[in-house]
């Protein structure tokens, strides 16, 4: 039986039944809904983006959880209505070009574009009846390795970090974990200047030692600095942890200066990862070509979407730089990242943040995480179905549910 739709050529109100033609499919609407709060859902807000077509096929995406994204999606929507959703590359470039004055080299504009771009992949997969990874060239792996970003309490001693690492591995099945090192040692003289004293460096070294010695060789451990140190302090921390089995040290200095990033990376044998604050392949190019990172750490709903991430991965691979993925997303953004990861040969691991948020799994009807891995679904598109009842129950105040009509 054909799909009931309104043809663009027959906007006098005549309706027909027929299968949707690929070249005359049109976008009719773009909507957002924000879910989460600082209580039940931890500190994360998840921004869902849905793209509607005149064939009744709907694509679901997710933008990086940043303020202003829904408004930016609304501003972009007129650029998309009436367009063919299968022209993903052209529409992406069109959104970037037309939003240049709004700041489409980064920030919330690119986050909004990313969520739309992910939804377009969901539509394209459904129309062509293939999983999203197939649109990116096919897959190298059937499931994607995830690593768990572990929480910690203020004032924890090194052995308490090790205890939490062991618990996370045992209870949730991860074989990769990460802890933050941008924390208070209790002996700081001036936290604002980013410089670490010898005691500060020793505190961080002791945490790394306790965690790595507890979990190795069964799991790998990375450590995140959240751009918190001076170049000199970053080098001292990186050198201090060289004796240990560190997966990578992430974002040890602020993200703006690629030259200093390269200097820090070259000063140590500890692998350095960075990149999550960068947007589009143009923003990542200098980091790659200069060899300023040992591992790229890219966020799909923030960098420009799925195809843009694949293009960045291909660029990085010509310099033999592998890619890991930053991820604060709900199951939707997580699965979008997993489809990209499945298609990228140099992929390392995908971050998972919500191990202590059981409601994360309820947002979709399918499995999105299993024993420390994200299954790459074979259903068309992303292979996920939003549970709209759960979405409605957990919308941010003032939000409205998608208009399915």
Q: What are the tokens at 363?
A: 């947002």
Of 332, 304, 305, 277, nearest in space to 46 by CA: 332
pLDDT of 259 reads 97
Domain covering 3-130 assigned CATH 3.10.105.10 in the classification: no
pLDDT of 42 reads 54
Question: How do beta strands 27-35 and 176-180 pair?
Answer: unpaired
Q: Which of helix, strand or coil describes residue 341?
A: helix
pLDDT of 2 reads 36
pLDDT of 16 reads 39
pLDDT of 314 reads 98
Do 3-130 and 135-382 show the same overall fold?
no
Instruction: Please state the domain extents for the chain.
Output: 3-130, 135-382
Q: What is the value of pTM for the model shown?
A: 0.92
CATH topology classification for 135-382: TIM Barrel (3.20.20)
CA dist 200 and 197 (Å) reads 5
pLDDT of 19 reads 57
In the predicted model, residues of the chain with pLDDT beneath 50 are 1-18, 405
Handedness of CA 18, 20, 24, 25 (dihedral sign): positive
pLDDT, tens digit (0-9, with 9 covering 90-100), for 70-97: 999 999 999 999 999 999 999 999 999 9
* CB distance 255 to 225 below 8 Å: no
pLDDT of 15 reads 45
* CB distance 253 to 277 below 8 Å: no
CA dist 292 and 71 (Å) reads 35
């Amino acid at each position: 039986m054909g799909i009931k739709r309104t043809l663009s050529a027959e906007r006098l109100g005549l309706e027909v039944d027929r299968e949707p033609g690929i070249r005359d499919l049109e976008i009719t609407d773009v909507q957002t809904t924000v879910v989460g709060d600082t209580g039940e859902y931890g500190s994360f807000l998840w921004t869902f983006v849905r793209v509607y077509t005149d064939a009744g096929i709907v694509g679901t995406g997710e933008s990086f959880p940043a303020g202003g994204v829904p408004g930016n999606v609304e501003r972009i929507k007129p650029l998309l209505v009436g367009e063919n959703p299968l022209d993903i590359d052209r529409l992406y470039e069109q959104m970037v070009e037309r939003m240049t004055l709004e700041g489409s080299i980064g920030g919330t504009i690119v986050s909004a574009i990313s969520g739309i771009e992910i939804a377009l992949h969901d539509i394209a997969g459904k129309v062509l009846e293939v999983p999203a990874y197939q649109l990116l060239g096919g897959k190298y792996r059937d499931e994607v390795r995830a690593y768990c970003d572990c929480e910690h309490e203020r004032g924890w001693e090194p052995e308490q970090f090790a205890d939490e690492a062991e618990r996370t591995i045992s209870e949730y099945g991860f074989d990769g974990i990460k802890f933050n090192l941008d924390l208070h040692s209790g002996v700081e003289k001036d936290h604002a200047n980013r410089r670490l004293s010898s005691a500060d460096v020793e505190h961080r070294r002791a945490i790394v030692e306790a965690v790595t010695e507890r979990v190795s060789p069964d799991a790998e451990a990375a450590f995140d600095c959240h751009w918190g140190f001076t170049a000199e302090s970053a080098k001292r921390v990186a050198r201090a942890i060289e004796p240990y089995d560190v997966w990578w040290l992430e974002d040890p200095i602020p993200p703006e200066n690629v030259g200093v990033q390269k200097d820090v990376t070259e000063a140590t044998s500890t692998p350095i990862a960075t990149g999550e604050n960068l947007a589009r392949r143009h923003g990542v190019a200098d980091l790659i070509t200069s060899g300023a990172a040992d591992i790229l750490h890219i966020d799909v709903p923030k960098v420009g979407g799925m195809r843009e991430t694949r293009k960045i991965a291909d660029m990085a691979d010509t310099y033999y730089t592998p890619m890991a993925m930053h991820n604060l997303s709900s199951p939707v953004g997580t699965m979008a990242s997993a489809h990209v990861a499945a298609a990228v040969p140099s992929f390392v691991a995908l971050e998972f943040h919500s191990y202590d948020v059981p409601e994360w799994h309820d947002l979709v009807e399918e499995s999105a995480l299993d024993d420390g891995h994200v299954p790459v679904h074979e259903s068309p598109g992303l292979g996920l179905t939003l549970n709209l009842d759960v979405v409605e129950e957990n919308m941010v105040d003032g939000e409205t549910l998608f208009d399915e009509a």
